[in-house]
Amino acid sequence: QVQLVESGGGLVQPGGSLRLSCAAASSIFSLYVMAWYRQVPGEQRDLVAVISTDGSTNYADSVKGRFTISRDNAKNTVHLQMNSLKPEDTAVYFCNARWFSTHFWGQGTQVTVSS
């Protein structure tokens, strides 16, 4: 079991930036595949970005070139740097840790992009 706590969400104007952070309470953080998902009310939770244990990354097409996922294994944290934000990026963003087929989730942080 691992506890995940997200922070960094908020209200930002279109074109602005936000940096989400996720702190994990686990002694084996470096062994987890970490990811960010987002969800709009009434819709499914979608994968935004993933970073593997070796540091390789993948992104949803909708955020490529704008978002960057990174991890700091020494601090048990994963970040999502979001630039050039668009209104359609508005959602609740969830941190996810995967250990083989087991998923752990944070409580989510709201990101609202609006003028």
Residue-wise pLDDT for 19-63, tens only, equals 999 999 988 899 999 999 999 999 999 999 999 999 999 999 999
Task: List, as one string, the DSSP characters of 4-39.
Answer: EEEE--EEE-TT--EEEEEEEE-TTGGGSEEEEEEE
Residue-wise pLDDT for 102-114, tens only, equals 999 999 999 999 9
3-class SS of residue 98: strand
